[in-house]
């Protein structure tokens, strides 16, 4: 990845005067829910509207996502609000469908980053794409798996790359849902300083009242952006209810954060 300097061009090209913000529900539930949240986020600092449509739940039996139908809802979000869209892809069929529906940003979830087989399959399907591709850290604190995924994608000629730090599983009882292990992300940042680094405080904390503090820590560490799960009725969300914030709270969080982006 010698030419890593070109990696951050996509972010610089957005010309933002604040950190990149990706927000929207954990899961797309219904067309009304998706459009309702998108409309509430339309005139805010949000740059990409996220919604998970293929939901990799750890145990079966929970809501597993609406599937490809959700891509139509995301297209509607773009048509009706002008917002760019983002979703998770976990295999080559997802990639194919997401590209066919012109989703602007694809992210790879923590449960996929652990598998070089699945990453290679996704990389091959994405080969040469000009879409933005963000790689979440693997569920376990293994920097090599994270780096390996980035390198497989870069080798597939995907230039608009970035990473999302969503914390790591632990057997210990902690206040976090997934412990941040900031040092690991900092190591990655030092190895690839030109790779945009986004924090996902929603999955790190698992609790909405901790999101502000973790977001502030990330910005103090010079992260480039935030992915924050946002829902108009968080308590009744079909997945990750405890960690989602309302659009009003998201706007307040963005207003209260001290943004201390260093300019080089
Ligand atoms: C998500 O973003 O909703 C998600 C499933 O995330 P992760 O892969 O970090 O668990
Ligand atoms: Mn979630």
- List domains and CATH numbers for the chain: 4-256 (3.20.20.70)
Q: How far is the CA of 53 from the centre of ligand 1 (A)?
A: 11
Mean pLDDT of the chain: 95
Q: Residue 264: what pLDDT?
A: 47
Contact between residue 140 and residue 168 where contact means Cβ atoms under 8 Å apart? yes
Cα-based angle 47, 93, 67 (whole degrees, multiple of 5): 65
Report the SS3 class of residue 188. helix
Residues 138-193: tens digit of each pLDDT: 999 999 999 999 999 999 999 899 999 999 999 999 999 999 999 999 999 999 99
Residues 213-263: tens digit of each pLDDT: 999 999 999 999 999 999 999 999 999 999 999 999 999 999 999 996 655
Q: Residue 24: what pLDDT?
A: 99
Helices 92-100 and 116-126 pack at an angle, to 10 degrees, of 30
Residue located via tokens 């992260």: 223
203 ligand 1 Cβ < 6 A: yes
136 ligand 1 Cβ < 6 A: yes
CB atoms closer than 10 angstroms to residue 59: 5
> Is residue 116 predicted with pLDDT exceeding 80?
yes
In the chain, the percentage of residues whose pLDDT exceeds 90 is 91
110 ligand 1 Cβ < 6 A: yes
Report the SS3 class of residue 64. coil
Tell me the C-alpha distance between 27 and 49, whole Å.
12
- Residues in contact with 142: Cβ distance below 8 Å, sequence separation at least 6, in sequence order: 114
- For residue 227, the ligand 1 atom closest to its alpha carbon is 2
Q: Residue 262: what pLDDT?
A: 58
Q: How far is the CA of 59 from the centre of ligand 1 (A)?
A: 14
Q: How far is the CA of 198 from the centre of ligand 1 (A)?
A: 13
8 ligand 1 Cβ < 6 A: no
Sign of the four-CA dihedral 228, 216, 189, 9: positive
Alpha carbon nearest to ligand 1 atom 4, residue? 109
Residues 49-72: tens digit of each pLDDT: 999 999 978 888 889 999 999 999
> Is residue 208 predicted with pLDDT exceeding 50?
yes
Q: How far is the CA of 203 from the centre of ligand 2 (A)?
A: 6
25 ligand 1 Cβ < 6 A: no
Tell me the C-alpha distance between 258 and 264, whole Å.
18
109 ligand 1 Cβ < 6 A: yes
Q: Residue 260: what pLDDT?
A: 67
- For residue 164, the ligand 1 atom closest to its alpha carbon is 9
- pLDDT greater at residue 90 or residue 60: 90
Q: Mean pLDDT throughout 117-126? A: 98
Tell me the C-alpha distance between 193 and 63, whole Å.
37
Average the pLDDT over each of 10-24, 56-70, 121-135, 222-236 and give the range with the smallest value: 56-70
CB atoms closer than 10 angstroms to residue 71: 22
Q: How far is the CA of 201 from the centre of ligand 2 (A)?
A: 11
Q: How far is the CA of 32 from the centre of ligand 1 (A)?
A: 22
Residue located via tokens 């998108």: 38
Alpha carbon nearest to ligand 1 atom 3, residue? 26
In the chain, the percentage of residues whose pLDDT exceeds 70 is 96
> Is residue 102 predicted with pLDDT exceeding 70?
yes
Q: Residue 206: what pLDDT?
A: 98
Q: Mean pLDDT throughout 84-98? A: 98
| ipTM score above 0.90 | yes
């Amino acid at each position: 990845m010698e030419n890593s300097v070109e990696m951050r061009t996509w972010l610089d090209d957005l010309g933002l005067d604040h950190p990149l913000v990706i927000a929207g529900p954990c899961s797309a539930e219904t067309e009304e829910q998706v459009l309702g949240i998108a409309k509430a986020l339309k005139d805010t600092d949000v740059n990409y509207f996220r919604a998970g449509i293929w939901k990799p739940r750890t145990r079966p039996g929970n809501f597993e996502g609406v599937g490809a139908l959700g891509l139509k809802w995301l297209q509607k979000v773009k048509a009706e609000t002008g917002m760019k869209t983002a979703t998770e892809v976990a295999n080559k069929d997802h990639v194919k469908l997401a590209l066919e529906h012109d989703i602007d940003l694809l992210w790879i979830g923590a449960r996929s980053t652990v598998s070089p087989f699945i990453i290679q399959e996704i990389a091959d399907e994405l080969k040469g794409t000009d879409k933005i591709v963000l790689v979440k850290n693997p569920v376990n604190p293994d920097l090599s798996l994270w780096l390996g995924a980035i390198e497989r994608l870069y080798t597939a000629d995907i230039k608009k790359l970035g990473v999302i730090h969503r914390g790591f599983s632990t057997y210990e009882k902690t206040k976090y849902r997934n412990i941040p292990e900031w040092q690991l992300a900092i190591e990655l940042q030092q190895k690839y300083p030109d790779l945009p680094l986004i924090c996902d405080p929603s999955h790190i904390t698992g609790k909405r009242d901790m999101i502000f503090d973790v977001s502030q820590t990330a910005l103090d560490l010079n992260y480039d952006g935030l992915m924050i799960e946002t829902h108009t009725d968080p308590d009744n969300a079909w997945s990750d209810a405890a960690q989602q914030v309302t659009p009003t709270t998201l706007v307040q969080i963005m207003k209260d954060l001290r943004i201390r982006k260093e300019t080089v």
